[in-house]
Structure 1
């Protein structure tokens, strides 16, 4: 029975996650249990389980007696997310380099080349994730890898933000090349340093987009207040 609930909750979480990513459910949008239960034709038990999953991922906030809302990404969030990513991803690749086999390096090289040729944001995003996951996987810490995916997901959920990041794919390709070179040389310290530098580049772009998003929200809020 628990497997059934988990499976249903996962399906609901997947659907809501997609709606948040596309902006269908924008920052601050209320997630009303009754409405969602009707929408997915489920009881509130798997629905609450799904919302708890999204809360754990940092996508929603749940308030006692008030329900859940889509969480807005702030500059403070960006600082925290990338601070953790630097620690987790830097450590993951540092340890992974020591265990990396030739097959992993060949696959990462292929993905790197394909990413340079990708023409759609969807394909670029898919290959970018695969590149990093290939290089981190040999670290062997499943919980650490899961945490890395969840932190990345908190940024990638914004299509506008993700598209801005992927627009810099040519520049990131140079950084990916430096990471891959360090891995081939079995230079764990170099792999960690180039990964940290890569994350710093991404963080600067994310901070710029989040600042603009916040400014637009403030302007819209000011316009509404004036109309009132």
Structure 2
């Protein structure tokens, strides 16, 4: 049973995550406990637990003499995040294929078609996440699915990166189609291979954006 402290910490973590995702708390911004405790009207104990949640998710980091700050994404971070995504998402779809029935495949097909017609970044993002979630859910490993969501969130919170990735939706649709066809054919190895290619192509785009930012 979840304690009140856990519940409060989770709510504060969700609020902080939203502030970071929206840019209200920018990269490098300090999370000043006194100010945030007052803002959320909570004690420092659940606030510290909330901050630690974000540290574990890789959204916040602690720095000497500065305390907790919103993490700035680096090329090293991108490589680490996408290397983990290759492992956990590749395995998730590999395990899922055997558990996919006609209904799951039909839902994935529908989401794939809706994504092709989506015209706003928000809708594209929602449908892209839904497409992958449908196909991964069959791995039946709740911890693995949570880890995938956390890794994706570390990239998606950077709005400029997410918008740039969504600009490549037409190209990604070809990759999505390859993943979907492998699942329809009941070929877990091919599904994993197609998923890995898809993740690797997204990584190259993100690394390119970061390189441009440094120029």
Bin for the TM-score computed over the shorter chain: over 0.9
Shift of 1:64: 6.5
Question: What residue number does 2:105 align with?
Answer: 105
Runs ≥4 residues deviating over 6 A: none
Aligned residue runs from structure 1 range 17-32, under 5 A: 17-32=17-32
TM-score (norm 1): 0.90
**In 2, Cα distance between equivalents of 1:187 and 1:137:** 17
SS across alignment from 1:62: strand
Question: What residue number does 1:41 align with?
Answer: 41
2:79 paired with 1:79? yes
**In 1, Cα distance between equivalents of 2:127 and 2:117:** 10
Structure 2, unpaired ranges of 5+: none
Q: 1:183 to 1:2 in 2, by over 3 A?
A: closer
Aligned residue runs from structure 1 range 1-228, under 5 A: 3-63=3-63, 66-215=66-215
SS across alignment from 2:79: helix
SS across alignment from 1:30: coil
Larger Rg: 1
Shift of 1:141: 1.2
Question: What residue number does 1:226 align with?
Answer: none
**In 2, Cα distance between equivalents of 1:179 and 1:102:** 16
- Asked if structure 2 preserves the Cα contact closer than 8 Å seen for 1:33 and 1:67, the reply is no
- Asked if structure 2 preserves the Cα contact closer than 8 Å seen for 1:118 and 1:124, the reply is yes
- Asked if structure 2 preserves the Cα contact closer than 8 Å seen for 1:9 and 1:47, the reply is yes
**In 1, Cα distance between equivalents of 2:68 and 2:97:** 41
RMSD: 1.4
TM-score (norm 2): 0.96
Shift of 1:63: 4.1
